[in-house]
Structure 1
Amino acid sequence: MTTSLLSIPPPAQYGGRVIGGAALEDEAPHDPVDDQVTALAQRLVDGDHASLAEVFDRWSPLVHTIALRSLANAQDAEDVTQQVFVAAWRSRHTLTPSPAALPAWLIGIARHKIADLRSERARDARRLAAVAAVRVETEVFEPAVVDQVLVRHCVDELPEPRRTIVMLAFWADLTGTQIAERLDLPLGTVKSHVRRGLIHLQRRLEEVRDGSR
């Protein structure tokens, strides 16, 4: 779900400090800035809610940049950035406070979230391919039915707003972002309805294919 918990600050504000954090630690064993980062990490581990906002403000530009370069999609990058800091709060007990560990830990979470999203994209692509394959196979038996009537009937079986979302996605060729804006729904909700609609459509078409053999 695309729920913006906090606004991502401009990358230029903190990028240099974060990227160079490890090197700065080597240059100054008692760097007061490093002490501040360690203290911030400890507050996060201890469950200080205010510390999460500070961590987000400082490192979200780095996380967002990594996500954007990996996914090449601004909306997905923003979603992943939000997910990273939610996950960081939930798993804060796994962090060992230190200046270098905090950004490295966040980057590790980001990589996992990026991998999860890529896997989700691959699953969606396979489902779409499966639906197309089922349609081709079924057309051998009942081309007139499968072409229009059956697919439309399967979509009509969907509850609202899933039916409308699927219609807009596959008949009106709208993107997820466009559908979310038109229906005033979170993007994550739209994506979830599309995925579940595809699963339902695939199953129904497979039933028809099996019954035609």
Structure 2
Amino acid sequence: MRAQTISRTRTPREDLWAPVEESLADEEIAAGLRDGAEPCLEAAYHRWGTLVHTLAHRSLGDAREAEDVTQQVFLAVWRGRDGYDPARGALAGWIVGITRRKIADALRARTRRSDLASAAEAALSLAVPAADDAPRRTLDRVVVSHELAQLPATQRRVLELAFFADLTHTQIAQVTGWPLGTVKSHSKRGLHRLRLRLVGTDVD
């Protein structure tokens, strides 16, 4: 799931404001952010966006994922601005800390997708005879989607949020209101049941 884009194209009004943005000190940007001044979010994005993107790209090795992480970081900066304490360090360091957490989230999401894909592929390799690649891939998608729909509602909800929405267990807990341990349990059981269903084992 791609994060909402903050802004990349300046309006004429923003062009008039650009010299002011470039003259702002880091401390002024930080103070403006804490006061809820949206232009200061734009200023932070232009000042540290390249750094955030570079860190993400080096860790993820994928330009599109790095762009997604960059957008997520600055959305988190805006939403969590009340949590920034200048006494604990510079704004740039706080942003880098958020970046590292978002990169870790992206890596965990990638692992979850890989695990689910591997489980489905392994099961389907036992259940489906060898065939031409294109029809096989189409069949895989149909079968996995069908079997996912057969899971109990709670397990299906967790796997859909993890696989299709790229949410972490913590984020799923926030979205659903379920305890984190419950989310992890549903995820584990759902993957197990999905694997059993794909190989044709009775799980009822």
* TM-score normalised according to structure 1 size: 0.56
Amino acid at match of 2:8: S
Alignment of 1:112 onto 2:101: yes
Q: Who is 1:69 aligned against?
A: 58
Looking at structure 1, the residues matched to 141 and 54 of structure 2 have their Cα atoms a distance apart, in angstroms, of 41
Unaligned 5+ segments in structure 1 are 9-32, 159-190
Aligned positions, number: 150
Query: What is the aligned-residue RMSD (CA, Å)?
Result: 4.1
Amino acid at match of 1:81: T
* TM-score normalised according to structure 2 size: 0.58
Residues 47 and 205 of structure 1, relative CA distance in 2, 3 Å threshold: same
Higher relative CO (Cα under 8 Å, sequence separation at least 6) belongs to: 1
Amino acid at match of 2:7: L
Looking at structure 2, the residues matched to 80 and 152 of structure 1 have their Cα atoms a distance apart, in angstroms, of 27
Aligned identity (percent) is 35
Residues 118 and 155 of structure 1, relative CA distance in 2, 3 Å threshold: closer
Q: 1:135·1:205 contact (CA, 8 Å) conserved in 2?
A: no
Residues 89 and 154 of structure 1, relative CA distance in 2, 3 Å threshold: same
Looking at structure 2, the residues matched to 113 and 194 of structure 1 have their Cα atoms a distance apart, in angstroms, of 12
Looking at structure 2, the residues matched to 6 and 125 of structure 1 have their Cα atoms a distance apart, in angstroms, of 31
Residues 128 and 43 of structure 1, relative CA distance in 2, 3 Å threshold: same
Alignment of 1:206 onto 2:196: yes
Looking at structure 2, the residues matched to 194 and 109 of structure 1 have their Cα atoms a distance apart, in angstroms, of 17
Please say which structure displays the higher CA radius of gyration: 1
Unaligned 5+ segments in structure 2 are 10-21, 130-134, 148-162, 168-186
**1:124 Cα shift?**
0.8
